[in-house]
Structures are given as structure tokens and as C-alpha cells.
Amino acid sequence: MFLKSARIKKELIHDFREYPFSIPFVRHLDELDLDAPITFFVGENGAGKSTLLEAIADQIGFNPAGGSTQNYQAFDVHKSDAALGEFIKLAWWPKVTNGFFLRAETFYQFASHVDETDRNGYRSYGGKSLHHQSHGESFFSLFQHRFKGNAIYLLDEPEAALSPTRQLAFLALLHDLLKEGNVQFIIATHSPILLGYPGARIYHFHENGVEEIDYEQTELYQVTSYFLQHREKMLADLFEDEEE
């Protein structure tokens, strides 16, 4: 583990009505402990998970549009500035700058950037251009070939392109990397499969701040398991109004 915590520099914030300070968790959170090998961020759409992940990436020196320190500002994506970056303070022991910030929505641009700059036969990406692999294959190639120890990985919805089977394979890959003990992951997710990684720390982002919760307490787990067990009832309730 490398990154111990992220503190919000409240002393620099003057107006909580302005974005990104208007996101509810920013007002309520002072410091978030991150001293776990694997930390998940969960919560409703718009709760601010990506905003915090992006700010952490920015402060590490990763390109906030996605990539590593080598890719910093190498490719630019509209609206990729880390709005909260300057307003957080990271505490390390020890500091690392190896790693990667995965953003599903800018992965296409990242793949183009790799096409322009790769000089070693796409060795870090499974031997072929990420554009010549399916969306899920290209994500998985990155995880399989580029992710190594002695590094920190920030992943924003890595499940976006992965089938359930590949998500399970991704868990196995995480497990192999974490076994070595010198790697740290912070992952924003909506996947009940990824979230099931044993012993992970789970932070729930909500209107009143950020709190640590157990897997079974998460809405992701509860809604998914209820849906799978009571699909017909749930759909009937959902469509009730429409059919009247």
C-alpha cells in the first residue's frame, strides 16, 4: 500500500454552491483513509466518485484524461480537467508514481494515443493495437499486460466493457497482483461482481458524505440480488403505473 489518505483542503474553499464543491460529499468529508490494498467507491450516479478519483489521479501526476505519468497531457480530452485536484492533499508512505488511471469514456482516445506512440510492438497491450481488439478485450489486455506491482491503479468503472465472465477473470487478476503485496487499487464501480472482492474496503458516497459499509449493505448488492430472486415481482411493480 502506498496512498494513505486524501484530505480535502476545506480552507481553500470559499463557496460550496460552486462545482465541484457543490457535490454533497465535498462539504461533508474532511479526510478519507485509503490505506487498504483495494478500496471501492460506490454510490448513485452523480455522487462524485469520478470527481474524487480524477482529483487523486491529477495529484499523482497521471493524465486526468486517463493514462499514466508518461501520458500526462499527451492527449487531451474535452472536460478532462480535474476540478477538485488542487483542493485535495494526498498522504503517502511511500510515494509511488507508477500506475495508471483508467477512464472508460476516454479509452478510445487513449488507444489512439498508444497507436501514435508505441514503439515496442504493443507489448504492454497484448501484441496488437487496442483499436484492433474488442472493447472488452482491449480493457483486459491493458489489465493483463500493463498492470504490474509497485504501482497504484485508479480505475473508473473498469467493468464498463467486461462481460460477467471477464469480470470474474479480472477478479482473479486482481488477486494475483494483490498477492504480491506491493500494489494498490482504488476502483469506482457499479458492478456487484467486482465489488465482491473479499476483504475490500467499500466507501459509499451519498448526500451526507462518505461512509464505509459492508458488501451486503450496499445498494448494488441488495438491488441486484433482489432483482435476480424476484425479477417478475419487481418488474410488475415497476410497470404497474404504465399498465393502469
Binding mask 77-106 for ligand ATP (x = CB under 6 A): --x---------------------------
Binding mask 181-210 for ligand ATP (x = CB under 6 A): -------x----------------------
* Interior angle at CA 215, CA 33 and CA 206, nearest 5: 60
Residue 61 near ligand ATP by CB under 6 A: no
Please, what's the b/e burial string for 112-133 (b: 16 or more CB within 10 A of its CB; e: otherwise)?
A: ebbeeeeeeebebbbeeebeeb
Stretch that binds ligand ATP, among 42-50, 92-100, 162-170, 232-240 (CB under 6 A): 42-50
Residue 155 near ligand ATP by CB under 6 A: no
> Count of alpha carbons within 13 Å of 183, Cβ hemisphere only?
17
Residue 1 near ligand ATP by CB under 6 A: no
Q: What is the 3-state secondary structure (H, E, C) of 135-163?
A: HHHHHHHHHHHHCCCCEEEEEECHHHHCC
Residue 51 near ligand ATP by CB under 6 A: yes
Strand, coil or helix: 4: strand
What is the H or E stretch that residue 26 is in?
A: helix 24-28
Residue 223 near ligand ATP by CB under 6 A: no
Shortest approach of ligand ATP to residue 68 CB, angstroms? Answer: 21
Residue 46 near ligand ATP by CB under 6 A: yes
Q: Which residues pair with 206 in a beta bridge?
A: 209
Stretch that binds ligand ATP, among 31-39, 45-53, 85-93, 146-154 (CB under 6 A): 45-53
Nearest to 189 by CA among 228, 147, 219, 150: 219
| Cβ closest to ligand ATP, residue 45 vs residue 120 | 45
Shortest approach of ligand ATP to residue 221 CB, angstroms? Answer: 16
Sites of contact with ligand ATP (CB under 6 A): 19, 23, 43, 45-51, 79, 188
